[in-house]
Structure 1
Amino acid sequence: MLLVLAHTAFRAWAMFGAWFQEDDFEFLRDSRANGLTLDYVMEPHTGHLMPLGRLLADLSMAGGLFNWPATAAVTAMLQGVVGLAAFWMLRTLFGMRWGIVPPLMIFLFSAITMPASVWWAVALNQIPQQIGLLCAVACWVLAERTGRTRWVLLTLAAVVFALAADIRGLMIPPVLAAISFGWFETGSAKQRLVSLVRRRWLIIIVAGAVGLGTIAYYALYIEQNRLDTDWGLLGPLTDTMLGTGFATGITGGPWDWYSPTPPAAFADPPEWATRLSWLVIAGVVTHAFLTRRRTGRAWALLLFGLVTLLLLLWSSRAPFVGDIAGTEYRYLTEAAALAMLALGLAYLEVDGAAGSSVPRESPMFTPRFPVQVPIAITTAIAMSGLWSATQFALVWHGFTDPRDYVSRLSKEFATTGPLALADAGLPPTVVGPNLWSEQRVPRLVGLLSPDSVFPEASHDLAVIDDSGALTHAALEVATSSEPGPVDGCGWRIPEGEKTIPLVRPTVDFDWWLRISYLAPKETPVVIEVEDGDAVRTTLRAGLHQLFVRADGQFDSVDLTSIDPSLIVCVDKIDVGTISPGAPLT
């Protein structure tokens, strides 16, 4: 229990020093915009169905918008449950013995599960996924050991719990089937399979229905963005994901991180460290084989999980980013739990399981290490993993751009109240350009100042600069209108309409017009450019500047529907891109 408490305290420190990033903003917006309805919880996010994650997002939002301490507290609580579930699983399978300490320590302090702690969007999916996996294994072993139906039902509940977080919960039933086949059946492979089907035919049907139903729902209702299968990527991805990412992460690494765009951090171990990790893994597998019987099935179970995670990544995200995805640990989270399970199954006997690993009557490796040796190795791996995890957390702690931006913008809105704003884009350090590719600023402003608007035309247009400060709108001019023929007026509009030519035509782009005019009194106006939508607004009495959106390619601007009894003067029309100007507050 002390290990679980230490693990939870460390992960809480890591979480409280981080902040909302990337997809987190979308979860906040969705939670704020939607009530707790079935449509809301079943709304997919980037191809993932995650009703449990949306419920957890609402729970965090109960503490207030952008309340990171409340969000981190909920996540830390769930991380503590992961530690308890890991301890319970090991104790259930192997009993209360010192032998469960090494796999527990390696799991609790591995850097592999760090993204599932500090990145809220990942935690919403993968912390429940870990809880479901660990509890399902424990409940299933109790069901096999006792034959009681309640443990079967609790196993199903754990699988459904994991599936409610992410489709990777489909990996759990094959793991449970492998445990039954390898540890609770006897005889030849055929005899084991027949016995298993006879004993568990009902649960096999139920689990199959749940799995096929989930797959069918995804196929019919969840839109997936996929590229063509890239067989050439599979080899390099295997090397980065299993050869580098997993191997070093499970042995205390990766010791170094590559962070081209913080806070994203990829495992970047030295070459010698990767080779040393494989020597450690090979040494453990070999030692288990030489000293115990029936260890291969434990490593086969781990290999199944790793290959499943590899194929999922290869067929989904890796084609978009390349083999570097294999060194991003959020795609390997379950591997840490499966490695803990495999290590226990290889070296410890499962109570009541005839197929457990047992010591060889005549070991092929006879030297006996003092107990201090495995303790020292385990402690070194755990402390090394803790150090690597700390370095990962510090990357997140040092990246404060989103927090600073949102904090300043929130304070400024508290002073100004709702505004008419132009979307000049969010800095890429606040939200990556691959996310919220459309309406990025309006989505964020909608959280902080719901009554602010993004009009097509405004005399009082504001812009948010890269620091989150509110400014008056300025224009980076690309072209302007021809000089007007009337001295002191420019372009006179005496009969309610006028076409004003530009010095040179624009290219096809998203433009803003800045119309400098003088009107004797208020009047309606329609502004239109070639192939563009007409913008209806109002001219004010006096000397003013009006900003108007005008997209596309055009060489003149049409002003119509002005009160024909008025003489309006347009001094100049500038065309350009919007940018921050003088401070607003």
Structure 2
Amino acid sequence: MTTTLSDREPENLRAQDRGRVVLVVALVLVAAQVTIRAVLAGAGEFYWDDLILIGRAGTEPLLSESFLRYDHDGHLMPGAFLVAGLATALAPLQWWPAATTLVLGQAIASLAVLRVLWLLLGARRVLWAPLLFYLLTPLTLPAFAWWAAALNSLPLQAALAWVTGDALQYARTGRRRHLVSGVIVTALSLFFFEKAILVPFVAFAALALTYRVDGRSRPIRTAARRAAPLWLASALILAIWLGFYVSTVESRFGTPTAEMARGLSIHGLSYGLLPALVGGPLQWARWNPGPPWADPPAALVFVAWAVLLGTLAWSLRRRQRTGFVWAATAAYVAASMVAMISTRFGPGTTYELAQTLRYFADSAVVVAIAAALVLRAPRRPSATTIPVPVRRTAAAGLAALFTVSSLWSTVTFTRSWTDNPTGEYLAHARDGLTSRPDVAVLDHPVSVWVLLPVTFPHNLVSSVFAALPDRSDIAGSTTELRVLDEVGALVPADLLAVRWVDSGPEPGCGRRVEPGITTMLPTGPMLEATWTVQLNYLASSDGEIEVGFPSREPARVAVTAGPSTVYVRVPGGGEGVQVRTATPGLSVCIGAGPVGVVVPR
């Protein structure tokens, strides 16, 4: 019996309807995920490196090389600094611009993942499975909620999906727009995160594996030939970027001990990555001011390993030519693991670092693409056919279980993440620093619950609040001692004495500082640190003096005619503090006073 065109029309219409349903459901899933992430972003606040980014945005010109080309703990990320600078300029120290960039970045990444899955699987319901995984997996939560991490991770996730899609399209159609798009997105992703060097390699592997599961001969050679201009352009971009990176960033790569490598690997895989793949970890642990880390129950770790091994056995037994898909995915995860271990190990490193998940967030995109390739692969002829109703029921049950587990992990993460004192600290500090803008505040570190001293000098009030408008001047000296306390309130302070400047040999004057002469104020031995000295002086006129330890650059301090007191921040150490006048004709008498550390009263 001959099939006519009119007979095929209803079938084509039904296929179009199915395609619309698949697309609409997929877009609804994306919208739901972005909404959930928007709630998480709205509940968040600045944390740790975020304050370094906005602090530098307040102290450096937006488009300056010193701002954009900065080695941030081994990261070269001018794009991230540019976004942070624009957000800070729009609303200094306000969270909503940062939260907006998080939501927009997540929406772009999720749509890019939907696009590549559509190109791999077409308008088939099976597309919902890898899409649902990417959208809901807790694997991407920590790198999303932390703004500084998201400025690295979200562009990388978007680029991995988008450039892979461009490679598939360019190989199929040869249209130049896909070549141009792939090259531009690759270049842009490198401006946000150095790990984006893997983007072209993932795109090449995905294209070659697509040919492999489709049964094409010589898939690697075919992938290289069909998209050769894209690979050559990407290689040129990587070469240029590599020179830029090497000339800017000090290498953090090293060789850890075998015990450290083993511990981080086990914790990262068994307690971090694998539970997140099945919707875990269900619960999180945290030691403020550190970030939350996955803390899965032992039963979930066992289930995660069982699911992994079971899925591997199922795909190898029922789907043709999927072994290389698993190998490529494992290689990507291993590369992420090696990068983390070789750059973040050290005497103070704990194994829980690997359980923070942010080092594996981009693996969610790779796993989603790998799942799509497995689902694209043809069934083995020998595989037992499972009835459609049974397959659909099982798929729906697994999807529901994964969704519930992932949402619960999201809820528990949000509870842990919002246990963050930074927001309250910044709010109090903004009020205090703008209450009396005419009185300078002596520069000092912020609370250790906000930034630890290891981040010096970015932990100083002068850095964190550099962009805050209408605030007090944050200076190296002040006539009124005030500090931000543990919750950020600006309160009166006292100088806790460690040493003393003596009363000096000259009655009624103490120690005289004459023009052109450097005078030593003996204190006794003091260790290298940042100290505050209280100068009780009598000045002949208004002017400036220079104060500091001999080994350090002195601070310039304004003095007024007559008797007064000024508190001066003096980094360094030694047997005494040097003072000399910086204003011609100025002479100053300095009496006894303490040298020590400033504490809230």
TM range (shorter): 0.7 to 0.9
Q: 1:560 & 1:39 partners in 2: Cα distance?
A: 33
The equivalent residue for 2:139 is 112
Return the alpha-carbon distance in structure 2 between the equivalents of residues 156 and 502 of structure 1: 64
Picking from 449, 452, 457, the partner of 1:429 is 449
In the TM superposition, what whole-angstrom CA distance separates every residue of 1:284-323 from its partner, at most 9, and x where no partner exists? 2212222222222222231122112112212222447254
Rounded Cα–Cα distance in structure 2 between residues aligned with 1:536 and 1:429: 31
The corresponding residue for 2:352 is 324
Q: 1:425 is paired with a residue of what secondary structure?
A: coil
- Which residue does the alignment assign to 1:139? 166
Aligned-residue offset at 1:537:
4.8
Name the residue aligned to 1:346: 374
Aligned-pair CA distance for 1:58: 4.1
- Shift of the 538–43 alpha-carbon distance from structure 1 to 2, 3 Å rule, reads closer
Query: Paired residue for 2:104, among 59, 68, 77?
Result: 77
Distance 1:428 1:200 in 2: 52
Does residue 1:410 correspond to 2:452, yes or no?
no
What is the DSSP-based 3-state SS (H/G/I as helix, E as strand, rest coil) of the residue aligned with 1:316?
Answer: helix
- Aligned residue runs from structure 1 range 82-161, under 5 A: 82-161=109-188
Write out aligned runs for 1:21-420 (5 A): 21-32=47-58, 33-36=60-63, 40-61=67-88, 63-184=90-211, 191-262=218-289, 264-319=291-346, 321-347=349-375, 349=376, 357-363=377-383, 369-399=390-420, 401-420=421-440
Distance 2:408 2:121 in 1: 29
* Counterpart residue identity of residue 327, structure 1: Q
8 Å CA contact 1:402, 1:430 repeated in 2: yes
Tell me the secondary structure at the aligned position of residue 75 of structure 2.
coil
Secondary structure at the counterpart of residue 434 of structure 1: helix
- Whole-angstrom CA distance in 1 between matches of 2:412 and 2:327: 32
Q: Measure, in 1, the Cα distance between the counterparts of 2:262 and 2:514.
A: 72
Give the direction of change, closer, same or farther, for the CA distance of 1:540–1:394 in structure 2 (3 Å limit). Answer: same
* Contact 1:457–1:537 (8 Å) recurs in 2: yes
Q: What does residue 491 of structure 2 align with? A: 471
What SS does the corresponding residue of 1:2 show, helix, strand or coil? Answer: helix
Task: Judge conservation of contact 2:538–2:563 (CA < 8 Å) in 1.
Answer: yes
Q: Classify 1:239/1:520 alpha carbon distance in 2 versus 1 (closer, same or farther; 3 Å).
A: closer
Task: Give the secondary structure class of the aligned counterpart of 2:592.
Answer: strand
TM-score (norm 2): 0.84
Give the aligned residue type for 1:341: I
Q: 1:439 to 1:334 in 2, by over 3 A?
A: closer
Q: Give the secondary-structure state (helix, strand or coil) at the position aligned to 2:300.
A: helix
Q: Contact conserved, 2:274 with 2:305, CA < 8 A, in 1?
A: yes
User: 1:509, 1:440 → 2: CA distance?
Assistant: 14
Q: CA separation in 1, counterparts of 2:586 and 2:210?
A: 92
- Conserved? CA contact 1:185–1:195, under 8 Å: no
Per-residue deviation, residues 9-48 of structure 1 (Å, max 9, x unmatched): 1000000000111111222233343234577544443332
Of residues 223-232 and 418-427 in structure 1, the stretch that sits farther from structure 2 once superposed is: 223-232
Any idea what the Cα deviations from partners look like across 1:349-403, whole Å, max 9, x if unmatched?
A: 2xxxxxxx1111111687884421121112211220121122112222231x221
Contact kept, 8 Å, 1:109 with 1:382, in 2: the verdict is: yes
Equivalence for 2:19: none
Q: Distance in 2 between matches of 1:193 and 1:528?
A: 66
Please give the per-residue CA displacement for 1:197-221, whole angstroms capped at 9, x wherever unaligned: 4444443332322233333332233
Letter in 2 for 1:324: E
Cα contact 1:63–1:70 (8 A) shared by 2: yes
- Tell me, in whole angstroms, the C-alpha distance in 2 between the residues paired with 1:142 and 1:505: 71
**CA separation in 2, counterparts of 1:40 and 1:508?**
29
Q: Distance in 2 between matches of 1:163 and 1:335?
A: 17
**Secondary structure of the residue that 1:446 maps to in structure 2?**
coil
- Does structure 2 retain, via aligned residues, the 8 Å contact 1:41–1:54? yes
- In structure 2, give the amino acid aligned to 1:475: L
Identity of aligned residues (%): 23
**TM-fit CA distance, 1:450:** 7.4
Secondary structure of 1:293's aligned partner? coil
* Counterpart amino acid of residue 210 in structure 1: I
- The number of aligned residues is 571
List gaps (5 residues or longer) in structure 1: 350-356
What letter is aligned with 2:41? Answer: M
